[in-house]
Amino acid sequence: MKILIENARLLDPAQKLDQIGSLHIVDGQLLSIDDSSAGFEPDRRIDATGLWAFPGLVDLACRLREPGQTHKASIASETRAAAHAGITSLVCLPDTSPPVDSPAQIELIHRRAQQACGVRVHTLGALTSGLEGRQLSDMAALQRAGAVGLTQALKPMGSHLLLRRALEYAASHDITVMLHPLDHDLAAHGCAHEGAVATRLGLRSIPQAAETAALGVILALVAQTGARVHLCRLSSAGGAEMVARAVADGLPVTADVCAHQLFLTEMDVADFNALCHVMPPLRTLRDRDGLRRAVAQGHIQAICSDHQPHNLDAKLAPFPATEPGISALETLLPLTLRLVEEGVMPLLDAIQRVTSGAASVLNLPCGSLAAGQAADIVLFDPHAVYAPDIENWVSAGRNSPFFGWEFNGRVTHTMVHGQIIYEAQKEN
């Protein structure tokens, strides 16, 4: 199968590429990038005049709710939402029911993903058995079964000594460990940032120190063990500054931030808006700006969705009793590109944080339009207007605080390994 995408604005941060040209695809792989199609006889020709073409998005944090929580969503429903959003590779967390702590669970997810729409699904394995924080999982077996990394998700580790043993083992087997910097004792089952808003609303709060104290322990153990650690979902300016210093000191750490943390603050929970109940909590405007600076300067390598689809009941209780999380696949790209509109960072840098920057965290072979790469490509109309709402939402989780926002641009085509898995015109 030969496909020619012609006259597109080609945007590839990995090659520092921004030019009008064509993409030649043969049997699922990118053959070449140039502005001449002489001698190339495509089976399908796509005129992309006026459109942008960039690598498919890589999302480092997604809950697909399988196994065990299909009343919220499924691998089929959420990969379809990802395809609509231009996401071609997803990394799913192991905090399912039961947790992904065995090769059989990884095989199950991969098998169901192969039966879905075609989005690549990568799996993280549980760092401890059952995510209970008491006994390390069979880390090497999970890696052999296809886990791209290991994590404890938001579950606590039983002790700092157990974390040290996990990192020592990971370092000896070249395993990436993804850790959420959250001190559960300091968090004390809180649901909002410790500040004026939480005090006024009477909400149990989580101090910034719950993140920075945990980071201090993790970074000390990274220095001790040499393990490769990815720090997940930073929420504070202080945390971002600690990561920047650690990188400058040569520690093998990377970091990401949720897209919603770059736009929302504690003020968005001021009316008990349960759609803004997230973990880690939304913090202050100063924290939001600190995170933006860290992303723009490259100290935070990736922007992720932290997608958590919920059923309607999950958000209907009083604020502290609601389940945290946002259905976020479909706003990952619009929010990232809004950073460009607001002057936070250049266009290529923004795309890099959700393509090659994210892929590099786990050494995934994607995120670029270079010749020889798999043809994971997004075509994007920058002139279309996208206003997410219940009617045009694809994810089974309708829990988004961004309904009613208006964004510039929309995905028109999503391609994985040369196969078009979403095409807007055909759906319309």
Residues 6+ apart with CB under 8 A from 396: 72, 73, 74, 77, 78, 81, 309
Q: What is the DSSP string of 166-189?
A: HHHHHHHTT--EEE----HHHHTT
Rounded Cα–Cα distance for residues 302 and 356 (Å): 9
Give the tokens for residue 302: 């990736």
**Adjacency order of strands within the sheet including 120-126:** 57-62, 87-92, 120-126, 149-151, 177-179, 229-231, 253-258, 302-304
The β-bridge partners of 303 are 257
Strands (E), 139-270: 149-151, 177-179, 192-193, 205-206, 229-231, 253-258
195 alpha carbon, distance to own chain's centre: 27
Catalytic residue among 59, 306, 376, 381: 306
The answer to whether the beta carbons of residues 138 and 145 sit under 8 Å apart is no
Rounded Cα–Cα distance for residues 287 and 305 (Å): 18
Q: Which of 189, 157, 183 is nearest to 235 (CA)?
A: 183
Separation of first and last alpha carbons in the chain:
25
Task: Note if 306 is an active site residue.
Answer: yes
Catalytic site residues?
306
